[in-house]
Amino acid sequence: MFSVVTANVNGVRAALRNGGLAQLREAQVAGKADVICMQEVRATTEQLHEALAAAGFSAAHVAHDCSAKLGHAGVAIVSRYPLQDITFGVGPKEFAKTGRWVEATVDIKQTPVVVASIYVPTGNAEIEEKQAEKYRFLEAMSRKLRAHMKSGADAIMVGDFNVAHRELDLKNWKGNLKAAGFLPEERAYFDTWLGKHGWVDLHRRRFGEVEGPYTWWSSRGKAFDNNVGWRIDYLLATPGLAARCTDLEIGRAATWDSRWSDHAAVTAWFK
């Protein structure tokens, strides 16, 4: 058995202060977080290692794509297993050093698995330039996913994708039909990835045709308390790896004031 976690940490130093890294470390020690993929690290590589060391991750294998814009974005893989063939970036030069894509081959008990931690731009339907940037990223991501699927290797692409794929993936879908994160053009990419390319959405495979469960809640109003959320954190696996997935869990905090991030960590287990 091994496990993969995706967690938007909302700033790794804040996650350290708020107890989030301690929770992730406890899970790793217990064998419930073998590979942790983080998004919105918002730190230099030195600061990331300092935070990880303070939380007890000193012996972990780490790959970090740091944004050149300080305090912005950033993705990382923190693994109990060695990382090989580490690469950064989704492809186009405009996304180099933006802290949005890091991938590596993880040698899990002599079984190599390609893992990517991904942070898709939020976009903005009212600002054409920002939304166009998001579409360019999603287009580049499509090329990456197609190439990984053609390679035949076991792979899992995880992270904060900043899109709710279906009406089941957000509570107030009628009120967001024209909002970034639920635009038809964004959602169509997921149709391609899951349909034409053959990736498996482990969340939907586990929970079926039900609302949510959600992974992100706005800090405004009582969105968390009323469970008015979005499902924007994904684990997409190649079919062979998906067939080995035994369970998936949403780490939703028990109460609003016990949260350490505005996202819930999502864990998948494999045999």
**Peptide bond connecting 112 to the previous residue in cis, omega within 30 degrees of 0:** no
pLDDT of 110 above 90: no
pLDDT of 1: 85
What is the β-pairing status of strands 75-79 and 83-88? unpaired
Residue 157 has phi, psi (to 5 degrees) of -110, 120
Exposed/middle/buried for 166, CB within 10 Å: 0-12, 13-18, 19+? middle
Contact predicate 215/231, CB 8 Å = yes
pLDDT of 111 above 90: no
pLDDT-derived band at 7, boundaries 50, 70, 90? very high
pLDDT-derived band at 109, boundaries 50, 70, 90? confident
What tens digit of pLDDT does each residue of 196-211 get? 999 999 999 999 999 9
pLDDT of 38: 98
pLDDT of 248: 98
Task: Copy the structure tokens of residue 17.
Answer: 């202060």
The pTM is what? 0.97
What architecture does CATH give domain 2-270? 4-Layer Sandwich (3.60)
pLDDT of 215 above 80: yes
* Among 160, 169, 201, 233, the one annotated catalytic: 160
pLDDT of 94 above 90: yes
Residue with tokens 């933006």: 98
Compute the distance between CA of residue 244 and CA of residue 188 in angstroms, rounded to an integer.
27
- Number of C-beta neighbours around residue 94 at 10 A: 12
Contact predicate 44/122, CB 8 Å = no
What tens digit of pLDDT does each residue of 11-30 get? 999 999 999 999 999 999 99
160 is catalytic: yes
Each domain of the chain, given as residue ranges in start order, spans 2-270
pLDDT of 257: 92
pLDDT-derived band at 108, boundaries 50, 70, 90? confident
pLDDT of 200: 98
Q: Residue 134, SS3? A: helix
**What is the chain's alpha carbon radius of gyration, rounded to the nearest angstrom?**
17
pLDDT of 53: 98
Compute the distance between CA of residue 209 and CA of residue 96 in angstroms, rounded to an integer.
37
